[in-house]
């Protein structure tokens, strides 16, 4: 029944207003959810929020109605073959599932045994537990893997990694940080021994000069972009944008350096070259706080501005000017996004930025710093919680026996019970989905069939899995491959905490009862873990009967000293910025004031390594991918919300000069082809992109940009090269827009 709350929200008075944290990006804006009749009819924000001061972007303000979308699944679903004890039928790749009214449907061409059957929680969780234990007891720890979720709470992620490590004794645990900032994380760990932002985003108003690179901040972190613009317009800061696209921040910038995709190392190393040659180095900082300068200096010799110009297209004089501006600032800072990290040399790319901060001493003070802007609302928190293959919570290496002993004690596990073997990364897990490799995969809230590179390969890997569980709000492109679907509560239907890009731990609060039979992730995991524990019959058992998310957080904080002083009571109003080492500690907005976690900051000599697949005569464009203001990642939430009306279809941006050369006009359907796949979508002819560069957002399953992208990995960080691959762009016919050859689709509704 449609109520007045839905038709005329302006006339409605809220029964309650619940303050919580936005579930989209890493800014972590505070939201006020106005609720009447168990329905959110308005979202506002408190003006005293230290994060967003009452401001919200379009996603936070309007992007919440996916909670009520008819396609949301609110009942546990199990494939018929599992309920009837039959062998697995052929044809998983043809299965899709849910109709617009939320009822399961069946494609008549495939076996009824693939039909989804709505069931109760006990039945669904028993099926999951039986099959996970069956596979584990047959094939061992190496057959088990899990994707945690950067959209879920800290508590949800802590529990899921604990479950996999303590029950299946494997570190095959990862999440989407692998696909966004893994290059930054590895580089920062190598250079300073810590991988989070060193300063808070709101300190941008204390910068005199700041560099924004590889980040379309205005669309990806809109509230931080607002603060950047304020820093320029109100506080007189100078902004240098280094990006292949003419993003909106360029209008506010002192300089724009439009480099070719994947040429960060030569540009930033050339800036370092200038800083050294012109003696703009902060020698005291280099001498007292860093090591490895001499070897680094040797590697820097060839990175002249002219050499960088030849590779990147950025004029040498502009590189000199930018270097002087940053080096001579009182307070200089660097903010970066995935244009730095999503490359097959993403680690080197981030190191080239870190070197600039070391040379100038723009680190360890307020208004300076190294600031990788984290994408998802809780990607920082999920990483802190140990949702990674090499680390327990608190970034404790899993291959260190002392760390193992600490977690064995916390989880009541026999001595030597946890695995010392490094786990597989997100990008490796699916590649190992074959006989003798990964057989069971549990996905909480992630969507690899949209977010992995080279999706035609990913699709083959998904089909190879023996048992797949999807725990989510919708049956998305990955859930379509699942054997069991577990309906989870949305962010507005549960309690917990998120940690934003500033390292600020903030509350998530229940505003609504979960729809239908949906349950908060942490409750699903506790119920499942209890069943698994019973079936595994180990001599010791871990705690799974938590009363509340707060109890879960306290268990994690008892071992992870960064969170030791974080309690729900202390973060009730404005959160706390970790490290918070004790109950009286006020939090730490600025890191590295005295020293780095690794002691001294370490320079690393660099070389220039080109992207794996540059443009050539056959594939003359470099494709770069990214996000839009109106949409979020694989689209599971925003494409099922009112925001989809604001931006309903995929588009490829190309420069007017390229459009003319290839006979393409604005709005024309075009076919974009790489060596791995093709999509058909409309063209936007715009000077926002540069000559030779095509840009496609990756939110649209019907024209999935990741069908085209290259799965080449950074050897250290294992992050794929999403930011550069070679493509062709040709005019297509209108009727080809729904290209039947495109293999990844949103579903047959
Ligand atoms: Fe949400 Fe990010 Fe927008 Fe803030 S800037 S409202 S956190 S999406």
In order, the DSSP letters of 446-458 are --HHHHSSSHHHH
Please provide residue 660's backbone torsions phi and psi, each rounded to the nearest 5 degrees.
-65, -45
54: preceding bond cis by omega (within 30 degrees): no
**pLDDT at res. 3:** 62
CA distances from residue 253 to 246, 339, 373, 568 in whole angstroms, order as listed:
11, 18, 18, 40
Instruction: Tell which residue, 577, 399, 451, has the closest CA to residue 505.
Output: 577
Cα–Cα distances in Å, from 500 out to 106, 377, 456, 505? 41, 6, 33, 7
Q: Output the CA 640–ligand 1 centroid distance in Å.
A: 17
Helix (H) or strand (E) holding 332: strand 332-336
Residue nearest to ligand 1 atom 1, measured at CA: 60
DSSP conformational letter for 293: H
- Closest atom of ligand 1 to 56 CA is 6
What is d(CA 399, CA 419) in angstroms, rounded to the nearest whole number?
A: 8
- Identify the pLDDT of residue 89: 84
- Integer Cα distance of 717 and 344 in angstroms: 9
Phi–psi pair at 464, nearest 5 degrees: -80, -15
Strands 238-242 and 255-257: parallel
From the alpha carbon of 632, which atom of ligand 1 is closest?
Answer: 8
* Class of residue 236 by CB neighbours under 10 A (exposed 0-12, middle 13-18, buried 19+): exposed
- Nearest residue (by CA) to ligand 1, atom 6, is 60
Pairing of strands 484-487, 467-472: parallel
Low-confidence residues of the chain: pLDDT under 70 = 1-10, 91-111, 738-749
Cα(702)–Cα(649) distance, integer angstroms:
9
Q: 470: Cβ–Cβ under 8 A, 6 or more apart, which residues?
A: 443, 476, 478, 479, 481, 482, 484, 485, 486
Report the separation in Å between the CA atom of 585 and the middle of ligand 1, taken as the mean of its atom positions.
28
Cβ–Cβ under 8 Å, residues 686 and 659: no
CB count in 10 Å sphere of residue 593: 11
Distance (angstroms) between ligand 1 centre and the Cα of 397 equals 32
What pLDDT is stored for residue 746 in this prediction? 36
Ligand 1 atom closest to 221 (CA):
5
Q: Provide the pLDDT for residue 101.
A: 39
Q: How far is the CA of 329 from the centre of ligand 1 (A)?
A: 30
Pocket lined around ligand 1, Cβ cut-off 6 Å: 22, 24-25, 27-29, 52, 56-57, 59-60, 221-223
Residue 92 has a pLDDT of 61
Ligand 1 mean position to 209 CA, how many Å? 25
What does the pLDDT look like over 453-486, one tens digit per residue? Answer: 999 999 899 989 999 999 999 998 899 899 999 9
Report whether 703 contacts 681 (CB < 8 A).
yes
- Ligand 1 pocket test, pick from 21, 26, 59 with the greatest ligand atom count within 8 Å of Cβ, gives 59
**SS3 call for 669:** strand
Using the 8-state DSSP alphabet, how is residue 527 labeled?
A: H
The maximal CA–CA distance of the chain, rounded, in angstroms, is: 75
CA distance 158 to 148: 9
Instruction: Name the pTM for this structure.
Output: 0.94
At 134 the pLDDT is: 98
Structure confidence at residue 109 (pLDDT): 54
DSSP notation for 327-379: HH-SSEEEEE-HHHHSSTTHHHHHHHHHHHHHHHT-SSSTT-EEEE---BTTH
Q: What is the pLDDT of residue 71?
A: 87
Kindly report the protein residue whose alpha carbon is nearest to atom 2 of ligand 1.
Answer: 25
Tell me the CA–centroid distance for residue 222 and ligand 1, in Å.
7
Q: What is the pLDDT of residues 485-508, one digit of tens each?
A: 999 999 999 999 999 999 999 999
Q: What does the pLDDT read at residue 657?
A: 97
Helix, strand, coil % over all residues of the chain, rounded to 5: 35, 20, 45
Pairing between strand 678-685 and 669-673?
Answer: antiparallel
Q: What is the 3-state secondary structure (H, E, C) of 409-431?
A: HHCCCCCCCCCCCCCCCHHHHHH
């Amino acid at each position: 029944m449609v109520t007045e709350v839905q038709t005329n929200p302006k006339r409605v008075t809220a029964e309650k207003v619940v303050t919580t944290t936005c579930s989209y990006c890493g800014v972590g804006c505070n939201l006020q959810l106005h609720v009447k009749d168990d329905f959110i009819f308005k979202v506002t924000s408190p003006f005293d929020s230290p994060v967003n001061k009452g401001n919200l972007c379009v996603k936070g303000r309007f992007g919440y109605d996916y909670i009520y979308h008819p396609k949301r699944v609110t009942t546990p679903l199990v494939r018929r073959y599992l309920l009837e004890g039959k062998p697995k039928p052929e044809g998983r790749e043809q299965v899709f599932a849910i109709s617009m009214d939320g009822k399961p449907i069946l494609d008549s061409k495939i076996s009824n045994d693939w039909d989804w059957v709505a069931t109760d929680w006990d039945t669904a969780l028993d099926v999951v537990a039986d099959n996970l234990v069956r596979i584990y007891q047959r094939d061992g720890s190496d057959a088990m893997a899990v994707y945690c979720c950067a959209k879920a709470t800290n508590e949800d992620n802590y529990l899921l990694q604990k479950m996999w490590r303590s029950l299946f004794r494997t570190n095959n645990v990862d999440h989407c940080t692998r696909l966004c900032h893994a290059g930054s994380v590895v580089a920062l760990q190598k250079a300073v021994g810590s991988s989070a932002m060193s300063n808070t985003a709101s300190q941008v108003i204390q910068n005199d000069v700041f560099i924004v690179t590889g980040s379309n901040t205005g669309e990806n972190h809109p509230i931080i972009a607002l603060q950047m613009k304020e820093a320029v317009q109100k506080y007189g800061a100078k902004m240098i944008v280094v990006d292949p696209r003419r993003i909106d921040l360029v209008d506010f910038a002192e300089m724009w350096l439009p480099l070719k995709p994947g040429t960060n190392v030569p540009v930033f190393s050339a800036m370092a070259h200038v800083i050294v040659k012109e003696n703009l180095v902060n020698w005291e900082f280099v001498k007292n706080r860093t090591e490895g300068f001499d070897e680094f200096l040797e590697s820097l010799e060839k990175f002249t501005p002219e050499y960088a110009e030849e590779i990147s297209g950025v004029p040498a004089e502009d590189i000199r000017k930018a270097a002087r501006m940053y080096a001579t600032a009182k307070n200089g800072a660097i903010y970066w996004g995935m244009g730095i990290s999503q490359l097959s040399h993403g680690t080197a790319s981030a190191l080239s930025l870190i070197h600039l901060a070391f040379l100038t001493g723009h680190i360890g003070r307020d208004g300076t710093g190294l600031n990788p802007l984290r994408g998802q609302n809780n990607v920082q928190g999920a990483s802190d919680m140990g949702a990674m293959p090499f680390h327990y919570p608190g970034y404790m290496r899993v291959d260190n026996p002392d760390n193992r002993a600490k977690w064995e004690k916390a989880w009541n596990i026999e001595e030597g019970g946890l695995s010392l073997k490094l786990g597989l990364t997100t990008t490796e897990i699916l590649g190992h989905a074959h006989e003798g490799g990964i057989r069971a995969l549990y996905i909480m809230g992630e969507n690899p069939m949209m977010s992995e590179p080279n999706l035609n390969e990913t699709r083959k890997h998904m089909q190879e899995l023996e048992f797949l569980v999807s725990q989510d709000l919708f049956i998305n492109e990955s859930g379509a491959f699942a054997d069991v679907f577990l309906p989870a509560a949305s962010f507005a239907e549960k309690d917990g905490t998120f940690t934003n890009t500033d390292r600020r731990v903030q509350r998530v609060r229940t505003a609504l009862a979960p729809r239908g039979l949906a349950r908060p992730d942490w409750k699903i995991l506790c119920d499942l873990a209890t069943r698994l524990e019973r079936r595994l019959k180990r001599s010791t058992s871990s705690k799974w009967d938590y009363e509340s998310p707060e109890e879960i957080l306290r268990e994690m904080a008892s071992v992870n000293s960064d969170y030791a002083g974080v309690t729900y009571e202390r973060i009730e109003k404005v959160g706390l910025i970790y490290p918070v080492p004790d109950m009286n500690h006020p939090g730490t907005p600025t890191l590295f004031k005295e020293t780095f976690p690794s002691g001294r900051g370490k320079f690393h000599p660099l070389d220039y390594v080109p992207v794996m697949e540059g443009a050539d005569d056959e594939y003359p464009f470099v494709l770069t991918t990214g996000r839009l203001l109106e949409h979020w990642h694989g689209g599971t939430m925003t494409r099922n919300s009112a925001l989809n009306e604001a931006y309903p279809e995929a588009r490829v941006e190309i420069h007017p000069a390229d459009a003319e050369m290839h006979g393409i006009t604005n709005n024309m359907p075009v076919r974009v082809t790489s060596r791995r796949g093709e999509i058909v979508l409309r063209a936007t002819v715009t000077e926002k992109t540069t000559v030779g560069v095509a840009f496609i957002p990756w939110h649209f399953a019907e024209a999935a940009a990741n069908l085209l992208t290259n799965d080449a990995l950074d050897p250290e960080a294992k992050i794929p090269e999403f930011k550069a691959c070679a493509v062709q762009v040709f005019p297509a016919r209108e009727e080809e827009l729904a290209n039947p050859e495109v293999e990844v689709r949103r579903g047959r509704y």
